[in-house]
């Protein structure tokens, strides 16, 4: 990675509503950030091309942190799906993180929306999130508040489940992730800190250098107190935390993973002795810390020989993801393991009550065998050792079956749904999730219209005869042809309407 070099001259810090003017500490923070390696050693690249499927969203709030918001949502995503916020590293962008991290693959597979916040050189010389500045990293302020406003906007836009909102980030994005988990435990159900630092390890430039290369050796309680003091008073529910760290990282010392473990195991009350360890692919060792119920609360993934960056594993396999590039390192797909830890695959984040992930393979051959206006029938190849199967629609479990087929009911006509299936062994551990399939129900997309009889007739949804009004197609009587009688009509086919006053 090389040594730190003197920072290049920077443009004045940005001015935005609610932000202080450039100069003084802000100027020193912005300039010095060019030498931070949550900034250090990151070679700036040219402008990133827009990633297909990534959409910029404007007008998401007062935006005191002067960030931009980008989103991705799979086709057919229904309400009640999870939401994941993903924060890029220094010199990177939202589209860069979208293209390399692997998160869109699992958004498609499991059914959840993604938000990619983006900062810029107007905020920080190397386009880093300002994790070390309390004006940006604390509740209700700066960049942290801008991210919270993005969450609120995405929840409204996609109908996301507010109980299943998660945040992840790389490097400076990981530093900000830790801060967000501490500042907004009422917003985020879980987080993943990839090559990052403990929450509020630094509140100045000099402290940032110390944290990166030789983090303070605080006690777990001291680290935990930093989180508790940042959260709303009286907080008792805390997010689950994954910590990813390469053992050969010279930008963010591996000791940070230890301090992060101490911080979040203290907050979550698990103690610092692992309840389980396991060897994963890519030279990765998993250390797990379960809560009193046996559910994994903190996981530390130590990747042997990995330098500073995000762990990816390009390929088409069910556990593979991402693309290599500067600071996207070919080892193991961290996004896959993080998604399963959070339960985005429809599991409990550890499988079967005991906290151990299932080993059964993903069911192959998932196929839609038929649809009606209200049902979708599925089948797949049986999995050896499966006691049952979980069926998920849009990332939410909708049924369990002992056979290799299932029919989902109560659907809406002319609507597309996404399905995945996972095998469950005799102990209740949920195995890998299948590739998704989509099913489109038959029929006409039901639409409803509430208006007075005169307006219905003028719009062609009804007709009048002898001073009376009738629904077009069904001929149902609607009463006098005037502006004083109001009805709701549901269209069920072209030119066919039925009364739906009791609910549509």
438-468 residue pLDDT tens:
899 988 777 889 999 999 999 999 999 999 9
Average pLDDT in the chain: 86
Cβ contact 30:13 at 8 Å: yes
Share of the chain above pLDDT 70, in %: 87
Q: Which of 35-44, 155-164, 201-210, 416-425 has the lowest mean pLDDT?
A: 35-44
pLDDT above 80 (res 339) = yes
Rounded Cα gap, residues 147 and 145, in angstroms: 5
pLDDT above 50 (res 309) = yes
Which one-letter DSSP state was computed for residue 22? S
Average pLDDT over residues 82-100: 96
Exposed/middle/buried for residue 211 (C-beta within 10 Å: 0-12, 13-18, 19+): buried
Tell me what pLDDT residue 78 has.
Answer: 83
Average pLDDT over residues 387-410: 89
Average pLDDT over residues 128-136: 95
Tell me what pLDDT residue 410 has.
Answer: 87
Tell me what pLDDT residue 9 has.
Answer: 27
User: At residue 328, what are phi and psi to the nearest 5 degrees?
Assistant: -125, 105
Task: List % helix, strand, coil for the chain (3-state, nearest 5).
Answer: 20, 30, 50
Which helix (H) or strand (E) element contains residue 430? strand 430-433
pLDDT tens across 411-428, in order? 888 888 888 898 988 877
pLDDT above 80 (res 504) = no
pLDDT above 50 (res 225) = yes
Higher-pLDDT residue of 484 and 46 is 484
- Answering whether pTM is above 0.85, one says no
pLDDT above 80 (res 477) = yes
Which one-letter DSSP state was computed for residue 408? E
Tell me what pLDDT residue 113 has.
Answer: 96
Q: Which of 30-34, 59-63, 172-176, 284-288 has the lowest mean pLDDT?
A: 30-34
Banded pLDDT at 470 (limits 50, 70, 90): very high
DSSP string, 290-337: E-TTS-EEEEEEEETT--SSEEEB-SSSTT-B---BTTEEES--HHHH
Which helix (H) or strand (E) element contains residue 471? strand 468-471
Tell me what pLDDT residue 29 has.
Answer: 37
pLDDT above 60 (res 276) = yes
Higher-pLDDT residue of 497 and 20 is 497
Share of the chain above pLDDT 90, in %: 69
Tell me what pLDDT residue 349 has.
Answer: 60
Verify whether residue 171 is a known catalytic residue: yes
Average pLDDT over residues 43-72: 76
Which one-letter DSSP state was computed for residue 473? B
pLDDT above 90 (res 346) = no
Q: Which of 288-292, 427-431, 488-492, 494-498 has the lowest mean pLDDT?
A: 427-431
Higher-pLDDT residue of 293 and 4 is 293
Q: Which of 171, 302, 334, 379 is catalytic?
A: 171
pLDDT above 70 (res 249) = yes
Q: For residue 294, how many C-alpha atoms fall within 13 Å in the half-sphere facing its CB?
A: 8
pLDDT tens across 3-50, in order? 222 222 223 333 333 333 333 333 333 333 333 444 443 333 333 333
Tell me what pLDDT residue 28 has.
Answer: 38
Cβ contact 201:172 at 8 Å: no
Average pLDDT over residues 201-227: 93
Tell me what pLDDT residue 359 has.
Answer: 76
Banded pLDDT at 398 (limits 50, 70, 90): confident
Give the list of residues 6+ apart from residue 86 with CB closer than 8 angstroms, or none. 97, 98, 101, 103, 114, 115, 116, 167, 168, 169, 173
Rounded Cα gap, residues 84 and 165, in angstroms: 6
Tell me what pLDDT residue 426 has.
Answer: 84
């Amino acid at each position: 990675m090389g040594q730190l070099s003197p920072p290049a001259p920077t443009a004045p810090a940005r001015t935005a509503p609610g932000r202080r003017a450039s100069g003084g500490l802000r100027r020193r923070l912005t300039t010095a950030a060019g030498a931070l390696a949550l900034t250090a050693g990151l070679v700036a690249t040219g402008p990133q091309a827009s990633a297909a499927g990534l959409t910029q969203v404007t007008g998401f709030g007062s935006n005191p942190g002067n960030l931009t918001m980008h989103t991705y949502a799979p086709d057919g995503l229904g309400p009640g799906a999870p939401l994941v916020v993903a924060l890029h590293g220094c010199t990177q962008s939202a589209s860069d993180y979208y293209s390399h991290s692997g998160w869109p693959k699992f958004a498609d597979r499991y059914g959840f929306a993604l938000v990619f916040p983006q900062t810029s050189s107007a905020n920080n010389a190397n386009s880093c999130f300002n994790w070390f500045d309390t004006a940006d990293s604390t509740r209700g302020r700066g960049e942290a508040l801008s991210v919270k406003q993005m969450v609120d906007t995405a929840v409204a836009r996609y109908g996301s489940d507010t109980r299943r909102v998660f945040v992840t980030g790389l490097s400076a994005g990981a530093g900000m992730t830790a801060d967000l988990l501490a500042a907004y435990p009422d917003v985020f159900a879980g987080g993943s800190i990839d090559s990052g630092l403990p929450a509020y390890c630094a509140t100045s430039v000099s402290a940032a250098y110390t944290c990166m290369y030789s983090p303070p050796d605080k006690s777990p309680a001291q680290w935990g107190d930093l989180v508790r003091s940042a959260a709303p008073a009286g907080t008792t529910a805390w997010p689950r935390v994954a910590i990813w760290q390469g053992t050969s990282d010279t930008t963010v010392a591996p000791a940070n993973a230890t301090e992060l473990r101490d911080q979040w195991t203290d907050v979550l009350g698990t103690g610092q002795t692992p309840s389980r360890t396991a060897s994963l692919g890519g030279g990765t060792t998993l250390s797990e810390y379960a809560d009193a119920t046996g559910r994994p609360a903190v996981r530390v993934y130590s990747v042997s020989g990995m330098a500073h960056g995000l762990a990816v594993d390009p390929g088409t396999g069910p556990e593979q993801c991402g693309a290599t590039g500067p600071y996207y390192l070919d080892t193991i797909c961290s996004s896959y393991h993080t998604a399963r830890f959070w339960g985005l695959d429809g599991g409990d984040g550890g499988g079967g009550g005991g906290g151990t992930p299932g080993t059964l393979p993903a069911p192959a051959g998932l196929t839609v065998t038929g649809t009606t206006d209200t049902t979708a029938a599925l089948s797949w190849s049986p999995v050896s050792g499966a006691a049952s199967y979980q069926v998920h629609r849009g990332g939410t479990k909708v049924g369990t079956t002992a056979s290799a087929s299932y029919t989902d009911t109560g659907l809406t006509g002319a609507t597309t749904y996404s399905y995945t299936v996972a095998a469950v062994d005799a102990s209740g551990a949920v195995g890998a999730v299948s590739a998704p399939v989509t099913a489109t129900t038959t029929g006409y997309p039901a639409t409803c219209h509430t208006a007075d009889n005169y307006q219905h007739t003028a719009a062609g949804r009804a007709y009048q005869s002898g001073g009376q009004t009738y629904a077009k197609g069904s001929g149902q009587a609607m009463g006098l042809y005037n502006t004083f009688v109001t009805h709701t009509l549901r269209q069920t086919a072209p030119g066919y309407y039925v009364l739906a006053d009791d609910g549509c």
